[in-house]
Amino acid sequence: MAEQVIPMGSTAASRRGADWDALAARARAVRHAKAVVLYAFLIAVSLPIILPYLWLVTIAFSARTGVAETAVLWRSMAVVVPAIVAFWLTAALAQSRRQVWIGIAAVAAIAAFAFALLVGPDLHVGNFIFLWEPDFASVVRSRIGEVKGAVQFPNVWHAFGNSILIAGAQTAIVVTVASLAAYYLSRFQFPGRSSMLRSLLVLHAFPVLTLIVPMFLMLYWIGLLDTLSGVILVLVAFELPFAIFIMKGFFDAVPWDIEMSALTDGASRRQAFVSVVLPQVRNGILAIAVFTFIRGWEEYIFVFTFLIRNSNWTMSLYMYWVRDDVMGVDYGVVSAVGVFYLVPSLILYMAAQRYLMQMSIGGVKG
- Residue 37 sits at φ, ψ, to 5 deg, of -65, -45
The pLDDT score that the predictor gives to residue 26 is 83
At 32-46, the pLDDT tens digits run 787 778 777 877 777
What is the full DSSP assignment across 135-190?
Answer: THHHHHHHHHT--S----PPPHHHHHHHHHHHHHHHHHHHHHHHHHHHHHHHH---
At 312-327, the pLDDT tens digits run 889 988 888 877 655 5
Those residues with Cβ within 8 angstroms of residue 118's Cβ, 6 or more apart along the chain or in another chain: 75, 78, 79
Q: How far is it, in rounded angstroms, from Cα 205 to Cα 323?
A: 32
Q: How far is it, in rounded angstroms, from Cα 212 to Cα 170?
A: 18
- Residue 127 burial by CB count (10 A; 0-12/13-18/19+): exposed, middle or buried? buried
Where residue 366 falls among pLDDT bands split at 50, 70, 90?
very low
Q: How far is it, in rounded angstroms, from Cα 247 to Cα 193?
A: 15
Is 363 a residue whose pLDDT tops 50?
A: no
Where residue 221 falls among pLDDT bands split at 50, 70, 90?
very high
Q: Does domain 156-358 have CATH number 1.10.3720.10?
A: yes
User: Smallest Cα–Cα separation from 249: which of 271, 281, 227?
Assistant: 281
pTM: 0.76
Those residues with Cβ within 8 angstroms of residue 162's Cβ, 6 or more apart along the chain or in another chain: 228, 312, 313, 314, 315
| SS3 assignment, position 364 | coil
Q: How far is it, in rounded angstroms, from Cα 97 to Cα 363?
A: 28
Span(s) in the chain for CATH 1.10.3720.10: 156-358
Q: How far is it, in rounded angstroms, from Cα 104 to Cα 96?
A: 12
Where residue 171 falls among pLDDT bands split at 50, 70, 90?
very high
